[in-house]
Amino acid sequence: MAAIRYHVLHETRYDYGSPVSLSQQQLHLSPRVLAWQQVEEQCVGIEPTPSWRRDGLDAFGNPVSWVAFHAPHDSLLIRSVMTIAVEPHLPGELDDSPPWEAVRDRLAYDSTDPQAEDLDATRFLFESPHVRIKHELVDYAADCFPPGRPLLLGVQALMAKIFTEFTFDPEATTVSTPVLEVLENKRGVCQDFAHLMIACLRALGLAARYVSGYLLTRPPPGKPRLIGADASHAWVSVYVPGSTCGWVDFDPTNNLLPDTEHITLSFGRDFSDISPLRGIILGGGGAEPEVAVTVFPIDEEELPDELSAAIEARKGGG
């Protein structure tokens, strides 16, 4: 299969209840370049123009922008526009992966055979702000990891278990809902399911990281694709040492292995590392953001005028 090319438009708007006198923000809105993902064009436009801006990489190698506003403003619009090409990248046979216990032992603190390529993965073994390591999580995942089961078959079984037993419910959780509460209530959204799956894997001694990005959604037959109707998405990546793939992605919200319809933005220990927009403001009246995301396959359909205009408007800016 050839690469699938997309236009992505991600808009975040704040209309503040009172003027903001000072604001500092960190933006994770620029996609990673990966072996299977090429960034053909990308820019982030901000209104009003920041007083200060710096672009760079965070501790995990993700593109990031830091911005500051020193003049009063009563609204903020951040528009990220990108053209991405995603190639097929599914792993080979899942049962060819090593036994999960062998991976656990290799990554353990007292491992007798440490490898240089494992060093980066060890950052994703431990607790983080949204991921706990508790015996309840080991108990929940235990039936997916019987002795000797290949690692990726066990991870696939855990993904399917979460998909089957949990209900997608946007009203059930907030960004700060603890993972053990998600486990108890068995309701949440993609962020919760990713955190839960990561917590289970780390509790077993396996390295797992949180991936943010976008997912192509299909409109009903005969219906047009709605601008802004998509959303950011989250899934899980698991470390497979000694393999050519290195890390393999799993999407517990949809019970599938991400391929050409998933666009990777950033990855970290959990959501707190790679929130699309986070920072501090003075003033503002506690406004909530309005977020609209459009993922549009370039070669399948004619580009809508609204999306085309947004892309053209940003080509000369950033």
> What is the per-residue pLDDT across 106-119, written as a single tens digit (0 to 9) for each?
998 877 666 778 88
Calculate the CA dihedral of residues 134, 138, 140, 146 and round it to 10 degrees: 180
Q: For residue 48, is the peptide bond before it cis, meaning its omega torsion is within 30 degrees of 0? A: yes
- Please give the sequence-ordered ranges of beta strands (E in DSSP) within 87-228, or none if there are none: 167-168, 187-188, 208-215
**Hey, how many other C-beta atoms are within 10 angstroms of the C-beta on 286?**
9
- The answer as to whether 226 is a domain residue is yes
Confidence at 77, pLDDT banded by 50, 70, 90: very high
| Domain assignment of residue 281, yes or no | yes
- Is pLDDT at 157 greater than 50 in this prediction? yes
Same domain, 125 and 180: yes
Please check whether residues 192 and 107 belong to one and the same domain: yes
pLDDT at 99 over 90: yes
User: CA 134 → CA 62, 148, 180, 209, 268, distances in Å?
Assistant: 29, 23, 9, 17, 20
pLDDT score at 304: 65
In which band, very low, low, confident or very high, does the pLDDT at 318 lie, cut at 50, 70 and 90? Answer: very low
Mean pLDDT of 121-132: 95
Residue 217's pLDDT is what? 85
Assigned domain for 267 exists: no
Residue 44 lies in a domain: yes
Same structural domain, 80 and 141: no
Q: 293 - beta bridge partners? A: 10, 230
**Could you report the per-residue pLDDT of 237-295, keeping only the tens digit for each?**
999 987 666 899 999 999 999 999 999 999 999 999 999 999 999 998 877 889 999 99
Taking the mean position of all CA atoms in its chain, how far away is CA 6?
17
Together in a domain, 55 and 181: no
pLDDT of residue 214: 95
What is the structure's pLDDT at 230?
76
What would the mean pLDDT of 175-198 be, rounded to a whole number? 96
DSSP letters along 28-62, please? --SPPPBTTEEEEEEEEEEESPPSEEEEEE-TTS-
Q: What's the CATH code of the domain at 204?
A: 3.10.620.30
Q: Helices then strands (H, E): number in the chain? A: 6, 13
Q: What percent of the chain has pLDDT over 90?
A: 77
| Mean pLDDT (whole number) for 199-213 | 98
Would you list the DSSP string of 83-114? EEEE-----S-GGGSPBHHHHHHHHSTT-SS-
SS3 160: helix
Task: Give the pLDDT mean for 111-132.
Answer: 87
Q: Are 246 and 220 in contact (CB under 8 A)?
A: no
| 72: confidence class by pLDDT, cuts 50, 70, 90 | very high
**Domain count of the fold of the chain:** 2
Q: Give me Rg for the CA atoms of the chain.
A: 20
**Statement to judge: residues 135 and 209 lie in one domain:** yes
Residue 265 maps to a domain: no
The CATH number assigned to the domain holding 45 equals 2.60.40.2250
The Cα–Cα gap between 272 and 268 comes to 8
DSSP state string for 264-317: EEEEESSGGGS-SEEEEEEESTTPPPEEEEEEEETTTSPPPHHHHHHHHHHHT-
Q: Report the alpha-carbon distance of residue 218 to residue 230 in Å, rounded.
A: 10
Same-domain status, 238 and 98: yes
The pair of structure tokens assigned to 1 is 């299969």
Local confidence band at 317 (pLDDT 50, 70, 90 cut-offs): very low
Q: Can you give the pLDDT at residue 245?
A: 66
Q: Is residue 149 included in any domain, yes or no?
A: yes
201 and 130 share one domain: yes
pLDDT of residue 68: 97
Range of the domain at 299: 4-87+274-315
Domain ends where: 234, 258, 282? Answer: 258
The pairing of beta strand 187-188 with beta strand 167-168: parallel
Q: Are residues 286 and 229 in the same domain?
A: no
Interval 3-27 mean pLDDT: 94
Residue 280: CB atoms within 10 A of its CB come to 9
pLDDT over 90 (residue 193): yes
Please report, as a single letter, which amino acid is at residue 200: C
Q: Does one domain contain both 136 and 244? A: yes
How does residue 201 score in pLDDT terms, banded at 50, 70 and 90?
very high
Residues 155 and 103 in one domain: yes
Residues 116, 46: one domain? Answer: no
* CB neighbours of residue 279 within 10 Å: 14
Domain identity same for 281 and 243: no
pLDDT, tens digit (0-9, with 9 covering 90-100), for 20-35: 999 999 999 999 999 9
Is the per-residue pLDDT at 235 higher than 80?
Answer: yes
How far apart CA 66 and CA 25 sit, in angstroms, is: 6
The whole-angstrom distance between residue 218's C-alpha and the CA centroid of its chain comes to: 20
Q: What is the mean pLDDT of the chain?
A: 91
Q: Assess if residue 22 is contained within a domain.
A: yes
In a domain, 268, yes or no: no
| CA–CA distance, 314 with 300 (Å, rounded to integer) | 23
